[in-house]
């Protein structure tokens, strides 16, 4: 009588499924390595594995969030530098006589803004988020494309120049996120957000 070894079909199926999943994950990561922003010296850098096993839709969502935060951070850094240089809007921020010039720079200035002013600022940000800074027409060519039917000279550019400009915006946004974070941290640690100024004997806050 011949003995037969029983086949564990469940184990075979699991192994096949695992191999298939690993292959899919590898192919996804390989495709992301050629995405905009994957450039020297780090290349494709995802230390928290946020896009591992994620599809293109999820990647595009994260790219949109990265762009939005980068744009906000660039405005924040520009505003911080502008107000640190002593520039302010003329007049008062409220009817009780709180002047724009009396509001301090950076995080310290939040406590100087009247409560009603903070509510208005938050409401305005919400309005922009819900109704303005979005792809309302659904015709965006890439994440963060908010032209909404306008062209603004974009169509006249070559594909190479378009990619270059998108890469510049992405990298400037990344740098600005680190920059505004550094300004806030140093302000809380030492009261002086611009370290180089303090080293040279200039006080900006």
CA distance 183 to 82: 14
pLDDT at 5 over 50: no
Residue 187 in contact with residue 107, Cβ under 8 Å?
yes
CA distance 110 to 94: 15
CA distance 205 to 102: 12
Q: What percent of the chain has pLDDT over 70?
A: 84
pLDDT at 199: 78
Tokens representing residue 105 in the block: 């720079």
Residue 51 in contact with residue 59, Cβ under 8 Å?
yes
Q: pLDDT confidence of 23, banded at 50, 70, 90?
A: low
Secondary structure of 77-99 in HEC code, one letter for each residue: HHHHHHHHCCCCCCCECCCCCCE
Angle at 82 between CA 77 and CA 117, to 5 degrees: 85
Average pLDDT, stretch 129-144?
A: 93
pLDDT at 41: 81
Average pLDDT, stretch 75-88?
A: 94
Average pLDDT, stretch 151-170?
A: 95
Average pLDDT, stretch 9-22?
A: 49
Burial 57-85 (b: 16+ CB within 10 A, else e): eebeeebbebbbebbbbbebbeebeebbe
**160 sits in which H/E element:** helix 159-190
pLDDT at 204 over 70: no
């Amino acid at each position: 009588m011949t003995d037969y070894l029983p086949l564990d079909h469940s184990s075979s199926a699991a192994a096949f499924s695992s191999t298939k999943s690993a292959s899919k994950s590898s192919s996804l990561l390989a495709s992301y390595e050629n995405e905009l922003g994957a450039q020297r010296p780090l290349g494709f850098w995802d230390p928290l594995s946020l896009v591992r096993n994620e599809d293109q839709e999820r990647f595009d969502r994260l790219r949109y969030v990265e762009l939005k935060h980068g744009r906000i951070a660039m405005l924040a850094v520009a505003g911080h530098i502008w107000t640190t240089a002593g520039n302010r809007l003329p007049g008062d921020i409220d009817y009780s006589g709180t002047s724009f010039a009396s509001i301090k720079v950076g995080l310290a200035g939040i406590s100087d803004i009247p409560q009603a002013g903070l509510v208005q600022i938050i409401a305005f940000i919400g309005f922009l988020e819900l109704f303005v800074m979005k792809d309302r027409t659904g015709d965006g060519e890439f994440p963060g494309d908010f032209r909404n039917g306008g062209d603004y000279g974009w169509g006249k550019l070559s594909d190479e120049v378009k990619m270059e400009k998108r890469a510049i915006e992405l990298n400037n946004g990344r740098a600005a996120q680190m920059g505004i974070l550094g300004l806030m941290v140093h302000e809380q640690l030492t009261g002086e957000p611009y370290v180089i100024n303090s080293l040279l004997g200039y006080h900006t806050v």
